[in-house]
């Protein structure tokens, strides 16, 4: 599989048609620009690519070349070691920026692979810096998505360490439904784009444990799952599982010291 930056793919439409009418433009790098400013960007600065399921967008360790906006589809990010060990770190949906992990040291820190047919807009990092010089509104356009990425990484680390399998799954489903809603999809009835093996890996549990956890959530009347199709029946049982106060007390008693769950921290929304 070849990273898209090394393929012979070409831009599909003039920049005006791509950007001005894009459903994900508000979350894109140029989302703060006016239509007139977007039309002043050179046409070859931003290109669109279509990717098939399983295609690599960029590889871990390769030099930073592009920043990407996912227009539609879904992408998984993973750390992959030479001994075959892999760890899924994120599942991205339309509107998310990809490639930000390389800004720190100039190298991508994860592999990104499509888990369904996808389309991305790509801009070289050098061209982005040129655009930032001409359009001051772009200067801080990376701060918010970088902050979101950092916060979500910290939260996932907490979950991996402290939650049991059923809690991890309940927490993931609520968060992913919120991601789906933000991307413009029905948050109560949708198809999970990732495989069960990828989801189990992301949650740090075995596939068999994931299957048992799914069955448990179905039995308490929270969800219905048919293959990858998920329907929320009621979120109330999930929030009862994930009650912040109960989790703080539970994990504090396990560690015998101050709870790692911040008192004012609440990332879940109903």
More confident residue, 201 or 44: 201
What is residue 174's predicted lDDT score, i.e. its pLDDT? 92
pLDDT tens figures, 56-89: 999 999 999 999 999 999 999 999 988 888 999 9
Domain 4-141 has what CATH class? mainly beta
Average pLDDT over residues 43-66: 93
Residue with tokens 């359009």: 135
Range scoring the smallest mean pLDDT among 27-36, 117-126, 245-254:
245-254
Q: What is the DSSP letter of 27?
A: G
Name the pLDDT band for 132 (thresholds 50, 70, 90).
confident
For residue 151, give both structure tokens: 């916060």
**C-alpha–C-alpha distance, residues 51 and 142, integer Å:** 24
Residue with tokens 């989790």: 247
For residue 243, give both structure tokens: 């009650």
Average pLDDT over residues 44-52: 89
Q: How many CA atoms lie within 13 A of 132 on its CB side?
A: 13
**C-alpha–C-alpha distance, residues 229 and 9, integer Å:** 32
Give the β-pairing of 97-98 and 86-92: unpaired
Name 68's bridge partners.
98, 122
What is residue 15's predicted lDDT score, i.e. its pLDDT? 52
The pLDDT mean for the chain works out to 84
What is residue 74's predicted lDDT score, i.e. its pLDDT? 97
pLDDT tens figures, 145-159: 888 888 888 889 888
The answer to whether the beta carbons of residues 10 and 47 sit under 8 Å apart is: yes
Q: From the CA atom positions of the chain, what is the Rg in Å?
A: 20
Say if domain 151-255 classifies as CATH 1.10.10.10: yes
What is residue 44's predicted lDDT score, i.e. its pLDDT? 81
Over 60: is that where the pLDDT of 11 sits?
no
Parse the chain into domains and list their residue ranges: 4-141, 151-255
The answer to whether the beta carbons of residues 80 and 111 sit under 8 Å apart is: yes
**C-alpha–C-alpha distance, residues 118 and 94, integer Å:** 9
């Amino acid at each position: 599989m070849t990273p898209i930056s090394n393929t012979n793919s070409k831009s599909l439409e003039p920049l005006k048609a791509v950007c001005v009418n894009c459903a994900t433009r508000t979350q894109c790098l140029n989302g703060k620009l006016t239509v007139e400013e977007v039309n002043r960007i050179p046409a070859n600065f931003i290109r669109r690519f279509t990717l098939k399921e399983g295609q690599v967008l960029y590889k871990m360790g390769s030099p930073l070349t592009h920043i990407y906006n996912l227009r539609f589809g879904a992408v998984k990010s993973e750390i992959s070691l030479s001994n075959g060990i892999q760890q899924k770190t994120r599942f991205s949906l339309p509107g998310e920026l990809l490639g930000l992990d390389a800004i720190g040291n100039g190298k991508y820190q994860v592999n990104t692979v499509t888990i369904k047919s996808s389309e991305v807009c790509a801009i070289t990092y050098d061209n982005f810096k040129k655009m930032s010089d001409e359009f001051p509104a772009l200067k801080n356009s990376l701060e918010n998505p970088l902050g979101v990425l950092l916060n979500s990484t910290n939260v996932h680390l907490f979950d991996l360490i402290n939650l049991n399998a059923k809690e991890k799954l309940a927490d993931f489903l609520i968060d992913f439904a919120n991601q789906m809603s933000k991307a413009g999809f029905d948050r109560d009835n949708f198809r999970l784009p990732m495989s069960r093996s990828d989801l189990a890996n992301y949650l740090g549990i075995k596939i068999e444990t994931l299957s048992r956890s799914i069955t448990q959530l179905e039995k308490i009347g929270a969800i219905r799952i048919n293959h990858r199709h998920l329907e929320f029946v009621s979120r109330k049982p999930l929030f009862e599982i994930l009650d912040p106060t109960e989790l703080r007390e539970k994990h504090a008693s396990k560690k015998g010291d101050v709870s790692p769950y911040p008192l004012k921290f609440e990332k879940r929304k109903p």
